[in-house]
Amino acid sequence: MSNKTIFVACDASKIKKIKDIIVQTKNSKLKIIPKFGLQLFYSKNGRKFLEKFKGDFWLDLKINDIPQTALSAIDSLKDLKKCKYITVHANGGLDMLKAVKKYTKKINKNLKVLGVTILTSLNNKSLKEIGYTKNVQQLVLKQAELIKKSGCDGIVCSPQESKMIRKKFKNFLIITPGIRLPGDNLNDQARVMTPKDAFKNKVSGVVMGRSLTNGNIKLNVKKLIDHLSQ
């Protein structure tokens, strides 16, 4: 089971809470990597915390801008040597994706660039409201092709599209948010799946937030291990 990668969404602005999540989710039976997002990164002490962080982590910023601005953003992160994953959004276009991937090779050869597709909080109705004419699956597949073409290392998509993406791209990092333990509240997620079912779809790793970090964290981790062992 230690070959299953779990990215824990450390969504908090207080460093004490972040440290508590990291300590309590550590487990020898799973490969657990913290994922830090906008909430921590924008907080008063978040950037300093990341500078001093000792282990590998994922910085989930979903960079989405013109190529030069995206490159400037990446350049400003070059001191974060332990950052192993960074996210850029497919909506930034092919030129931006290619530019970011090319530049990251220069500043940190171990940094993997992940292209983000349609957020897991959106569904077909949401896409229509925004102005898209394709449905979720069509759009995610189109974005996945763009991400692959750009040379990025992997894709972030909902588990509901992961099987389709794996069939298309055999050797590609596929990481899926929108993961809930059986019976958990879906909250603001629209396209979800259990960890076990996601791994059946041959994903490379899953992102888990509230299912692990709400309430008793150690008990939640035990529930996850039991769930994956069934």
Residues 111/104, Cβ–Cβ less than 8 Å: yes
Coil, strand or helix: which one is 69?
helix
Token reading at 206:
């899953």
From 4, 35, 62, 101, the catalytic residue: 62
List, in order, residues 6 or more apart from 85 with CB less than 8 Å away. 35, 57, 58, 59, 60, 111, 112, 113, 114
**Residue 48 known to be catalytic:** no
Beta strands in 2-128 (DSSP E): 5-9, 31-36, 57-63, 83-89, 112-116
Catalytic residues: 62
